[in-house]
Amino acid sequence: MFYPSFNLVLNSIAGQVYFYQSELPYDADGSFADDKFVGYKVGSNVTNHSASGLGIYSNFRDHDVEVWTGVVHPSIDSIHMKNIFTVKLDNMGNISSVVNGFGPGPVTDAERGVPHRCSEVTCPSGELGKLDRHKYP
């Protein structure tokens, strides 16, 4: 097993991403979730970022891993996320939420392959989407 960090960390100022797909490591164990790794992270010092069309997929083959969220970013008004989703492909584990702990996460085996999308209501960005920095990095 080798997953020393997040799948992607963006630290650029005024970054823009228009399409990104990421499969979390198939062989991850509980430490992947314990260390709060996610599929897409905007660095804590970034002050302006926009992303659309992000998809984070889970297929935990070897261990029952529960990842807290697929995407994480600073909770400021100049960060914008649009059309973000997670999908449980197969096997064990889950991604519990879509962005910053908000939005639906796959919860049953019957939902395998079903995208769970964020909207501005279910996954607010900016100040509305504040996450608990004491609980999550």
CA distance 78 to 21: 23
The pairing of beta strand 79-88 with beta strand 116-117? antiparallel
At residue 124 the predicted structure's pLDDT band, cuts being 50, 70 and 90, is low
* Distance between CA atoms of residues 37 and 109, nearest Å: 23
CA distance 4 to 48: 26
- What residues does each domain of the chain span? 9-129
CA distance 20 to 102: 19
pLDDT band at 1 (very low <50, low <70, confident <90, very high): very low
**Considering the chain, what is the average pLDDT of its residues?**
80
| Average pLDDT of span 76-90 | 88
User: What is the pTM for the complete model shown?
Assistant: 0.83
**Pair 6, 38: CB distance under 8 Å:** yes
Q: 109: number of CA atoms within 13 Å, CB side? A: 3
- In whole angstroms, give the CA distance from residue 128 to residue 116: 20
Mean pLDDT check: name the lowest of 9-23, 25-39, 117-131. 117-131
